[in-house]
Amino acid sequence: MSILVTGGAGFIGSNFVLDWLGLSDEPVINLDALTYAGNLENLASLKGDPRHVFVQGDIVDFDRVLGLLEAHEVRAVLNFAAESHVDRSIHGPGEFIQTNVVGAFNLLEAVRAYWVKLGTTERQKFRFLHVSTDEVYGSLDPAAAPFNETSRYEPNSPYSASKAASDHLVRAYHQTYGIPVLTTNCSNNYGPYQFPEKLIPLVIHNALSGKPLPIYGDGRQIRDWLYVTDHCSAIRRVLDAGRLGETYNVGGWNEKPNLEVVHGVCAILDELRPRKDAKSYAEQISFVKDRPGHDRRYAIDAGKLERELGWKPQESFETGIHKTVRWYLDHQQWVKNVTSGAYRDWIARQYIA
Ligand code: NAD
Ligand code: TYD
């Protein structure tokens, strides 16, 4: 028996694979297309480990997925694979539809073809866990209660709309075909191995490179931050004990305006790696044009996950952000490797053009 993880060379997927194999000997089949966001260096510590089978391939490829399910007697599929960056979805939504919608559909179809042929016990034990986002719920007013599992879907970006579409497909495959599915909708993650196009690693990277720290609009947009290993533990908990067909919101009860997050990162850098001129990195903050359709506020009510499955995050924002800044300082070669080549084209397109 084994689990199939898709997108396991990306930020959250690679953290999940590393944590999983740190806690269990159950093999992981890791299917990842290795787009710009996928990086085998994240998994270097697993080199030669027979419990980790890496396969470069696309979730859109039905035959490939079905072949893997059959060959490795997979008992659970965890779908992390996605195009995940809102700004990229604004420049080029096509790939988001292809991977996040068509890819999810093909995965579900391959799972359906595999699952119907399983024996009764295996069929009952099988799980398809879909990793999704709080962004499907749209934007919250300042005084509104955090999103819960009954909040209306109101996606505002091509990214969130594509994730919303995949969530609906997952639900439909449970209602229509009886596939044993689970969906998690998580808030913003941060931590090791996050590609420096997302706010926190971008700010650390730019700060150390002496570049401006770009704040979209007024910087008062609110996100609810969760340290990535807490997301991974929530996914394991839902996989083990989640009720079939249910969705679980995952969050860290850490709502923060972007400006506060950026000032926090600067303060930690000031302490750990002071600028040569002894000024604060906060001097590099630069307000830039806002993102079109920018959601003002996300906040997650993770009460259902806590009540039903006893899950709670282990990290506060303060402990998690310290660990994160420290990790980036200690892994400058990783940053250098992922920011060479195509990364520069993205930065030029998004921030300079
Ligand atoms: P990421 O962009 O870092 O990684 C995505 C991975 O998927 C990459 O390794 C990429 O190579 C792979 N991939 C892309 N297209 C593929 C395809 N067609 N076939 C196979 N592999 C493909 O993303 P992430 O931040 O690790 O997010 C993982 C999942 O978690 C996504 O589904 C995302 O929507 C969800 N999520 C992310 C966050 C967050 O804050 N990052 C929060 C909530 C939910
Ligand atoms: P991001 O990390 O892209 O995550 P998401 O859009 O999925 O929430 O952005 C987090 C917040 O930071 C979001 O409100 C947009 C903002 N942001 C900036 O202000 N400047 C930046 O350069 C980036 C990448 C994001």
- CATH code of 117's domain: 3.40.50.720
**Residue 94's domain spans which residues?**
2-189+228-252+296-315
Indicate whether 281 belongs to any domain. Answer: no
Indicate whether 33 belongs to any domain. Answer: yes
> How confident is residue 341, by pLDDT bands cut at 50, 70 and 90?
confident
How far is the centre of ligand 2, averaged over its atoms, from the C-alpha of 284 (Å)? 17
Q: CB within 8 A of 4, min separation 6: which ones?
A: 28, 29, 31, 65, 68, 69, 72, 74, 76, 77, 78
Q: How far apart are CA 10 and CA 144, in angstroms?
A: 33
Instruction: Taking residues 268-288, report their average pLDDT.
Output: 98
Pocket test for ligand 2, best of 96, 216, 296 (most atoms within 8 A of CB): 216
* Residue 353 pLDDT > 80: no
Instruction: Taking residues 222-247, report their average pLDDT.
Output: 98
> How confident is residue 268, by pLDDT bands cut at 50, 70 and 90?
very high
Q: What is the number of the ligand 1 atom nearest to the C-alpha of 184?
A: 44
Indicate whether 184 belongs to any domain. Answer: yes
How far is the centre of ligand 1, averaged over its atoms, from the C-alpha of 7 (Å)? 6
Indicate whether 16 belongs to any domain. Answer: yes
> pTM for this structure?
0.98
* Residue 352 pLDDT > 90: no
Q: Are 38 and 10 in contact (CB under 8 A)?
A: yes
HEC string of 65-116 equals HHHHHHHCCEEEEEECCCCCCHHHHHHCCHHHHHHHHHHHHHHHHHHHHHHC
Instruction: Taking residues 144-163, report their average pLDDT.
Output: 98
Indicate whether 100 belongs to any domain. Answer: yes
Q: What is the number of the ligand 2 atom nearest to the C-alpha of 294?
A: 14
Residue 161 or residue 352, greater confidence:
161
Indicate whether 269 belongs to any domain. Answer: no
Query: Which residues lie across from 226 on neighbouring strands?
Result: 189
φ, ψ of residue 196 in degrees (nearest 5): -75, 40
Indicate whether 59 belongs to any domain. Answer: yes
* Element (DSSP H or E) covering residue 264: helix 258-272
Q: CB within 8 A of 36, min separation 6: which ones?
A: 195, 342, 343, 346
How far is the centre of ligand 1, averaged over its atoms, from the C-alpha of 103 (Å)? 12
Query: Which residues lie across from 216 on neighbouring strands?
Result: 288
Ligand with the closest atom to the CA of 185:
1
The beta strand positions in the chain, using DSSP E, are 2-6, 28-32, 52-56, 74-79, 127-133, 181-186, 188-190, 213-216, 222-227, 247-250, 255-257, 285-288
Ligand with the closest atom to the CA of 39:
1
Instruction: Taking residues 58-78, report their average pLDDT.
Output: 98
What is the tally of structural domains in the chain?
A: 1
Residue 344 has what pLDDT? 86
Give SS3 for 263.
helix
Indicate whether 141 belongs to any domain. Answer: yes
Known catalytic residues are 134-135, 159
